Amino acid sequence: MLREEINELMTQTGPGTMMGDLFRQYWIPALLAEELPENDCPQVRVKILSERLIAFRDSQGRYGLIDEFCAHRGVSLWFGRNEESGLRCAYHGWKYDYTGQCLEVPSEPEKSTFCASIKLRSYPLVKVGDILWTYMGDPAKAPPLPEFEFCHVPSSQTFTSKRLEEANWLQALEGGIDSSHVSWLHSTGLKDDPLFKDTEGNKYNLGDFKPYFEVVEADGGLYIGARRNAEEGHYYWRITPWIMPAFTMVPPRGDHPMHGHFWVPIDDENCWVYTFDYQPVRDLTPAEVQAMKDGYGVHSQNIPGTYIPVNNKSNDYLMDRDAQKRGDTFSGVRGIAIQDASLQESMGPIVDRTKERLVTTDVGIIKARAKLRKAAIALKEQGITPPGVDPSHHRVRSASVVLPKDVPYIEAVADKLKAQPGVRQATV
């Protein structure tokens, strides 16, 4: 369990909070590149770390991420016009460029320099892979751009989606580093999901419901190893990298694509889940991509024109009790991503961790919390740069392997946990 004040430290990410300051040391996903598909396209509302912003793409293709509200009288610029390399407020015509600098105040005298003194808060917005990333910290301390492998393989080898989750970012992240629930919640998905089924490793997940966890420090976060019994004299290991503050990779299964998530706080009670699949050595097949779009694997099927899952809290995730009784799905909810979301959201917007009772399989969660808290305190009190900021920390992979029982997993798979262009993933 956590004391109430520690739970608050871990879950609050708005301006001026300790965890919010920590997040502001990193490049984080702000939106998908598909949301701003062309020059002068409609602007998009963006809320992250409790800040309300507007993203747009100007006539020269430059991306802007600026304060949502006009400096004049606070009108939302979502109602404005994206025109001629700027965003013009619909109320009185004040115009801003992609850096938030005011370009025109039409009501002022022709020779007035008033607009030069007006500049909205703004953040950089840069496309890397399928994602538009932003850095919301001190501009003088901006780190190099992200180097996660899925962002840098050819576009034919990767697919990224996002969905809204109505829960605090931390409880969503904790679900992402908890491998023990797979044998229960996702048990039927291992058998019938087209992006999970028919792999050797599945039988070990379904044959051993008492995994042992061994967590190892990594430069950028943790390696969380989950061990299950395999054939005689061997263990089946699934190793999940967690890179601070909110990146995880799910260990692969067979030749299915590798996948993982970013958990980005919208505010203290909601987060965006960015989900990626990729293959380091081959193109994704049309069938794989279609399955992702249809909500299989770790993706969700969203309401058209939104990033809100079709199965969501408002409709009880389309829970099917008959299917649950028949065993078609263990929880009665379809889709691995929504199975996770339904239970994480069921905890409430911010789970009360003073009441929890953790067990041995929660060691990854316990150590991740401790590392986040330690980093936030060190940043505040000593100005120490936290783990995961350095792009070299991003070049990781998850892995699944079968090893003799007397072989330490971290020694046996050290090279396999590094992203190596053109090298196949370590998978069972």
Question: Could you report the per-residue pLDDT of 371-396, keeping only the tens digit for each?
Answer: 999 999 999 999 999 999 999 999 99
Query: pLDDT at position 19, please?
Result: 98
Query: pLDDT at position 24, please?
Result: 98
**Are the C-beta atoms of 13 and 23 separated by less than 8 Å?**
yes
Query: Tens digit of pLDDT for each residue in 19-72?
Result: 999 999 999 999 999 999 999 999 999 999 999 999 999 999 999 999 999 999
Residue 419 backbone dihedrals phi, psi, to 5 degrees: -70, 120
Concatenating the DSSP letter of every residue in 377-426 gives: HHHHHH-PPPTT-SGGGG-B--EEEEEETTS-HHHHTTGGGB--TT----
Query: pLDDT at position 303, please?
Result: 98
- Quick one: average pLDDT of 165-174? 98
Of 100-104, 118-122, 180-184, 420-424, where does mean pLDDT reach its minimum? Answer: 180-184
- Quick one: average pLDDT of 137-148? 97
Flag whether pLDDT at 179 surpasses 90. no
Burial 271-293 (b: 16+ CB within 10 A, else e): bbbbbbbbbbeeebeeebbebbe
Flag whether pLDDT at 279 surpasses 90. yes
This prediction's pTM: 0.96
* Per-residue pLDDT band at 299 (split at 50, 70, 90): very high
Q: What is the DSSP letter of 348?
A: -
Of 53-67, 162-176, 179-193, where does mean pLDDT reach its minimum? Answer: 179-193
Question: Where does residue 383 fall: left (phi above 0), alpha (psi -120 to 50 degrees), or beta otherwise?
Answer: left
- Quick one: average pLDDT of 172-188? 92
Flag whether pLDDT at 232 surpasses 90. yes
Query: pLDDT at position 411, please?
Result: 94
- Quick one: average pLDDT of 133-149? 97
Tell me the percentage of the chain whose pLDDT exceeds 70. 100
Flag whether pLDDT at 249 surpasses 90. yes
Flag whether pLDDT at 1 surpasses 90. no
* Per-residue pLDDT band at 84 (split at 50, 70, 90): very high
Q: How far is CA 69 from CA 89, 99, 126, in A?
A: 9, 14, 22
